[in-house]
């Protein structure tokens, strides 16, 4: 019995370590613009993904319209509408596009949400000041990418 | 798989056609303004240029068609007072030398920025140089109320004249530098001026209707900030919003960018002081 608890605890610890071990932005492997497996190791939360579509560093609807989020005002027109996006792209492709759309569409206007280097005059968020020497955080965390992707795969016409 | 990117591109293209600048005509005190014309020859990716006025709501547009409704005119009046106010060690005002009044500067705005003695100068430079060298007065802060009131007063003297800045000769290297800045994708969002104002004018980005980013109405009264906004202040705001380290107001970079952006409006009538959202 004692032994059993110990095993269970060990298993739980291992699981939490695995889920915390996200793929670093600089270590992401793209294949034809797609990312085959989860960046966080934890399944995405579509409900949180829907929130990120409207808020914070996601703010996807600033540029894309989404019928499923029509209760929110001011959907943009810079990018294509996302209705039925899961009919056009599979999960790996959507993950790749959200993480770094430039890998799929060369020269696209879309910002790269899981990227931390290669910027010109990188600022400290929206202050207008230089970023400084600290570690650069991607616009979305690995788990937030997974959450957004989990929401996007629900956008089907069928 | 190979076709999919093209589907996306086609949809973006259609969105651009679906909503764009409106067809309104800007007329102030019976004078009709050119708010749409053929792009200057140097523009490679745009065939027609439009004033930012054409992208604004009818309510915002209306504020500019009557000078009594234009909130910027309060600041122009302050500019007239400043023009006549003695300041500095020499006991002079602007009017001491410019005896014909601000009207003396009709046409100047259309040619600014310009190169003087090998240096690119913008209106704020001219004003501060004269304040310091002729009046013995303290220079004004770039985007301060005094400075922008004076820039607006001088700009108003050219209202209705087409923008006509020189981009060749001495101006060429500054113009090339400004063009490079215009097309550079700055900050963590990796956005250039062109990404929004050349590739996506007419489209909505969140609640903003993207214009071509023309500066023929600057300094402009911005409702959001309830005061006159300088060109460099607007440049700074845009670059900051790309999560980038901005350039400073009055920097060589922004002067070069101002020349390049002004040249993209060559042919549009000056609207200074315009009213925007």
Write out pLDDT tens, residues A6-37.
Answer: 444 444 444 444 455 899 999 999 999 999 99
Question: What pLDDT is attached to residue A15?
Answer: 44
Question: What pLDDT is attached to residue A7?
Answer: 46
Separation of alpha carbons A151 and A146, rounded Å: 9
Residue ranges of E strands in chain A:
none
Domain assignment present for residue A5? The answer is no
What pLDDT band is residue B106 in, cutting at 50, 70 and 90? very high
What does the pLDDT look like over B141-160, one tens digit per residue? 999 999 999 999 999 999 99
What does the pLDDT look like over B188-239, one tens digit per residue? 999 999 999 999 999 999 999 999 999 999 999 999 999 999 999 999 999 9
Question: What pLDDT is attached to residue A20?
Answer: 58
Domain assignment present for residue A100? The answer is yes
Average pLDDT over residues A91-118: 98
What is residue B229's DSSP assignment?
E
Question: With 50 as the cut, is the pLDDT of residue B16 above it?
Answer: no
Question: What pLDDT is attached to residue A58?
Answer: 86
Contact B241, B87 (CB under 8 A): no
DSSP string, B162-200: BP----SGGGHHHHHHHHHHHT--BTTTTB-HHHHHTTS
- At B5 the three-state DSSP class reads helix
> What is the CATH number for A39?
1.10.760.10
Residues of A with CB under 8 A from a CB of B: 32, 59, 61-63, 73-81, 88-89, 104-105, 109, 111-112, 119-131, 136, 139
- At B204 the three-state DSSP class reads strand
* CATH dotted code for B32-277: 1.10.760.10
- Percent over 70 (pLDDT), chain B: 93
B99 versus A58: the higher-pLDDT residue is B99
Question: With 70 as the cut, is the pLDDT of residue A146 above it?
Answer: yes
Helix (H) or strand (E) holding B24: none
Contact B230, B219 (CB under 8 A): yes
A1 versus B25: the higher-pLDDT residue is B25
Asked if B19 is an interface residue toward chain A (Cβ–Cβ < 8 A), one would say yes
Separation of alpha carbons B7 and A105, rounded Å: 12
The dihedral through the CA atoms of B41, B43, B46, B51 has a sign that is negative
Contact B75, B221 (CB under 8 A): yes
- At B34 the three-state DSSP class reads coil
Separation of alpha carbons B224 and B233, rounded Å: 13
State how many domains chain A has.
Answer: 1
Question: With 50 as the cut, is the pLDDT of residue B9 above it?
Answer: no
> Hey, what are B157's tokens?
């003297």
- At A101 the three-state DSSP class reads helix
Question: What pLDDT is attached to residue B11?
Answer: 39
- At A133 the three-state DSSP class reads coil
Question: With 70 as the cut, is the pLDDT of residue B2 above it?
Answer: no
Residues 187-216 of B with CB under 8 A from A: 187-191, 195-196, 199-200, 203-207, 210
Q: Which residues contact B13 (CB under 8 A, 6 or more apart)?
A: none
In order of A94, B129, B137, B213, the CA distances from B201 in angstroms are 27, 37, 42, 8
Separation of alpha carbons B218 and B214, rounded Å: 9
Question: With 90 as the cut, is the pLDDT of residue B14 above it?
Answer: no
Question: What pLDDT is attached to residue B73?
Answer: 97
Active site residue B94: no
Give the domain extent around A65.
23-152
Set of chain A residues whose Cβ sits within 8 Å of the Cβ of B1: 32
Average pLDDT over residues A111-134: 97
Average pLDDT over residues B91-99: 97
């Amino acid at each position: 019995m004692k032994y059993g608890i110990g095993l269970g605890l060990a298993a739980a610890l291992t699981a939490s370590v695995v889920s915390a071990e996200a793929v670093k932005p600089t270590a992401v492997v793209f294949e034809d613009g797609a990312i085959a497996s989860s960046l966080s190791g934890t399944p995405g939360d579509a409900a949180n993904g829907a929130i990120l579509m409207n808020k914070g560093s996601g703010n996807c609807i600033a540029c894309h319209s989404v019928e499923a989020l029509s209760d929110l005002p001011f959907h943009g027109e810079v990018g294509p509408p996302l209705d039925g996006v899961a009919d056009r792209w599979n999960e790996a492709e959507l993950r790749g596009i959200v993480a770094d759309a430039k890998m799929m569409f060369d020269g696209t206007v879309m910002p790269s949400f899981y990227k931390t280097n290669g910027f010109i005059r990188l600022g400290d968020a929206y202050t207008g000041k230089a970023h400084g020497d600290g570690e650069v955080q991607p616009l979305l965390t690995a788990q937030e990418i997974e959450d957004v992707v989990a929401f996007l795969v629900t956008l089907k016409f069928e | 798989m190979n076709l999919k990117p093209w589907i996306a591109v086609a949809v973006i293209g259609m969105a651009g056609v679906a909503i764009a600048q409106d067809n309104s005509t800007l007329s102030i005190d019976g004078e009709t303004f050119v708010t749409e014309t053929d792009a200057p020859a140097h523009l490679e990716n745009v065939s027609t240029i439009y004033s930012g006025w054409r992208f604004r709501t009818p309510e915002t547009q209306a504020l500019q068609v009557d000078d009594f409704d234009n909130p910027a005119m309060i600041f122009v009046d302050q500019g007239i007072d400043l023009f006549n106010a003695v300041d500095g060690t020499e006991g002079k005002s602007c009017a001491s030398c410019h005896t014909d009044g601000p009207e003396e500067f009709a046409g100047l705005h259309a040619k600014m920025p310009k190169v003087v003695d090998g240096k690119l100068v913008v209106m704020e430079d001219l004003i501060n140089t004269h304040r310091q060298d002729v009046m013995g007065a303290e220079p004004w802060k770039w985007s301060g109320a005094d400075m922008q009131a004076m820039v607006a007063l001088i700009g108003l003297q050219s209202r209705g004249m087409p923008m006509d800045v020189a981009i060749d000769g001495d101006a060429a290297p500054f113009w090339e530098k400004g063009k490079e800045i215009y097309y550079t994708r700055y900050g963590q969002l990796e956005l250039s001026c062109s990404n929004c104002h050349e590739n996506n004018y007419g489209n909505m980005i969140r609640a903003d209707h993207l214009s071509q980013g023309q500066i023929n109405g600057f300094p402009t009264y911005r409702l959001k900030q309830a005061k006159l906004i300088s060109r460099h202040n607007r440049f700074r705001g845009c670059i900051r919003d790309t999560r980038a380290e901005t350039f400073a107001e009055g920097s060589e970079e922004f002067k070069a960018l101002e020349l390049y952006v002004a040249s993209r409006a060559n042919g549009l009538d000056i609207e200074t002081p315009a009213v925007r959202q």
